[in-house]
Amino acid sequence: MAGLVIHLQNILRLVVKELRSIRADPVMLLLVVYAFSFAVYTVATGVKLEARDLTIGIVDEDRSEFSRTLLGAFGPPLFKISKRIAPGEIDSEMDSGRLVFVLEVPPNFQADLQAGRQTSLQLNIDATAMTQAGNGAVYIQQIVAQEIANLQAGRETTTALPINLVVRARFNPNLDSGWFSSVMQVLNNVTLLTIILTGAALIREREQGTVEHLLVMPVTPVEIMLAKMLANTLVILVAAVASLVLVVEGALGVPIAGSLPLFVLGTAIYAFTVAALGILLGTLATTMGQFGLLAIPVFVVTQLLSGATTPMESMPVWLQWTMRTLSPTPHFVAFSQGVLYRGAGLDVVWPEIAKIAAICAAYFAFALARFRKVIFT
């Protein structure tokens, strides 16, 4: 019992030491503040994955009232560029990527339409613009259908469908991608900065030889390692929650549906897990430079294949399975999306927390084994 108290006291003192070290490194602190404020804001407002700011050209061989109306219908915010082009320009405009869509209106289109003759429009799509091609095509088709309906409005007023289809998006009614990217950016930062801070804290001790000094004192390697993980987890946790409340909810106006304390609990466990990963990487590298080279691919892979960028279900099944087994990040992303967007409670998300904790135990055991090994050589 007394032994445990001493362990806890030692850990507490070492945590205080770690926090002082973090405070003494203005560059790292600046990086943390930048990543959780400015970077979150710019990513949320700058990059839109929803189809908007599309570029369309119309090859108008009809030159009718209708084709002019159609050109006018492709306006902002859905369209950034809509212009009339000559038939010979289709290839160069699309090859260069200046236009993603080109709509060809054949001669006598309006006349055929009004005469009730079967006719067609051709929509060329640059299918290399993945985020715009599919959804943009759907919107363009809807606009065309709407304009045709308007044209025919005099004769036919009812909707084309026998069903009144009502599609509603829950948790993000306007499907604003900023809601998604801002929160995911916070999660990415938790992963990236926890790895960097923890790993750098270990490498710094090894490079400066201070870990040697700690080891001749009456403290154990577990205490040293735990203190590092706890201190950095704490810093990241505070930064992440502040970012969520001040930047995401405050500045960006994204509503947070669920319980903040529950999110803090999950994030704490996750950050602690990633801190173990940071220690592990810190034991594999011997210098800061090497650590950077190791940390970047690890981070990029865990982040990209976590469901925080593109949907997890789109990945091959074997890859999904591998990532869910090896990395805590997919579970953390699922947990966060559940809590923050859908307002899910502990009764719903506990399996994700349990999985993170299980991976945490494995990481911790491995990191501790490596840590003991390298600090004594």
From candidates 64, 67, 82, 124, binder to another protein by CB under 8 A:
124
Which residue from 30, 111, 127, 361 is in contact with another protein, where contact means CB under 8 A?
Answer: 127
Say what the alpha-carbon torsion angle 227, 372, 294, 11 is, to the nearest 10 degrees. 0
Identity of the residue, 12 or 365, whose beta carbon is nearer to another protein in the bound complex: 12
Determine, following the binding rule CB under 8 A, whether residue 141 of this chain makes contact with another protein. Answer: yes
Among 123, 242, 358, 362, binds another protein (CB under 8 A): 123
Residue from 2, 88, 120, 153 touching another protein (CB under 8 A): that is: 120
- How buried is 154 (Cβ within 10 angstroms: 0-12 exposed, 13-18 middle, 19+ buried)? exposed
Q: 21 or 268, CB closer to another protein?
A: 21
- Taking the complex as a whole, the smallest distance from the CB of residue 65 to another protein amounts, in Å, to 16
Please report which residue ranges of 285-327 form alpha helices under DSSP H: 288-304, 317-326
CB-nearer residue toward another protein: 338 or 361: 338
Q: Is 237 in the site for another protein (CB under 8 A)?
A: no
Tokens 């950050």: give the residue: 271
Total of residues contacting another protein (CB under 8 A): 132
Q: How far apart are CA 335 and CA 254, in angstroms?
A: 18
Residues 57-76, interacting with another protein (CB under 8 A): none
Sign of the torsion formed by the C-alpha atoms of 222, 285, 21 and 298: negative
Footprint (CB under 8 A) of another protein, residues 200-229: 200, 208-210, 212-220
Name residues whose C-beta falls within 8 Å of residue 273's C-beta, 6 or more positions apart in sequence: 328, 356, 357, 359, 360, 363, 364
Structure tokens at 303: 């982040």
**CA separation for the pair 166, 157 (Å, rounded):** 19
Nearest-angstrom CA–CA distance, 215 and 299? 30
Given the complex with another protein, which of 349 and 367 has the nearer CB atom? 349
CB of 284 to another protein, least distance (A): 8
Residues 17-36 that bind another protein (CB under 8 A): 17, 20-21, 24-25, 27, 31
- Cα–Cα distance for residue pair 133/162, rounded to 1 Å: 28
Is residue 154 within the footprint of another protein (CB under 8 A)? no
Q: How many residues does the chain have?
A: 377
Residue 180's CB is within 10 A of a number of other CB atoms, namely: 20
Verify binding: residue 4, another protein, rule CB under 8 A: no
Under 8 Å between Cβ of 62 and 104: no
Q: Judged by CB under 8 A, which of 37, 108, 177, 259 binds another protein?
A: 177
Stretch 257-316 residues interacting with another protein (CB under 8 A) = 285, 287-294, 296-297, 300-301, 304-305, 309-311, 313-316
CB of 126 to another protein, least distance (A): 6
Instruction: Give least dist CB 364 to another protein, A.
Output: 20
